[in-house]
Chain A
Amino acid sequence: AQSVAQPEDQVNVAEGNPLTVKCTYSVSGNPYLFWYVQYPNRGLQFLLKYITGDNLVKGSYGFEAEFNKSQTSFHLKKPSALVSDSALYFCAVRDIANRDDKIIFGKGTRLHILP
């Protein structure tokens, strides 16, 4: 069965520093991987996805993520954090080998950018 782990409940980063939000996954086949962001009192917004191709994926708001098949990871990164990046971030996975289209989300990581 597919699963997603976000090992950190919270990440604190000083404004201007690089940030990383970690995600590891487990699937039996090849994964579709997604990152979403949730701002306070809002629904989730799509940030970026990996389906196939280049392992480095660029997304919205200057975020990027690197797909690493050997480490089964899809960490979210940004070179220089902004206070406005403070939010709740979710990693999600779909296993292409499954005939169903279940999407599994991680538990989320709260990102605090300190001014």
Chain B
Amino acid sequence: EAQVTQNPRYLITVTGKKLTVTCSQNMNHEYMSWYRQDPGLGLRQIYYSMNVEVTDKGDVPEGYKVSRKEKRNFPLILESPSPNQTSLYFCASSFVASGGVDEQFFGPGTRLTVL
């Protein structure tokens, strides 16, 4: 089954404790992206990657890191989480057509709470 998986699905942590949220896709997509969803703010892009070893900042990259060492994986790293990073996080992937990124496939989400 074609899918984007994220782990963990729920995480409660404390300020300053490094964490990683994993994302994996089995569709051989070039493009992968991380978003956060907050009430009243919709989805905001954190980082995206057009292919292996290529990453770019989205609109809200501060406090986050990513890496793309393999095509299928795109982990999101919070080196020192703070309470304002409490949010619902989504990973997504897509083919890159001749004109650019096409429709995205989303993972189920990771609900993160930072105390």
Contact = CB atoms under 8 A, between A and B. Distances in A.
Contact of B41 (A32, A92, A107): A107
B106 interface: yes
Interface residues of A, number: 24
Contacts of A105: 35, 42-45
A94 interface: yes
Contacts of A46: 103-105
B56 interface: yes
A103 B100 CA distance: 11
A21 to B, nearest CB: 14
Interface of A: 6, 32, 34, 36, 42-46, 49, 51, 90, 92, 94, 96, 100-108
Interface of B: 4, 31, 33, 35, 40-45, 48, 50, 56, 58-59, 90, 92, 96, 99-109
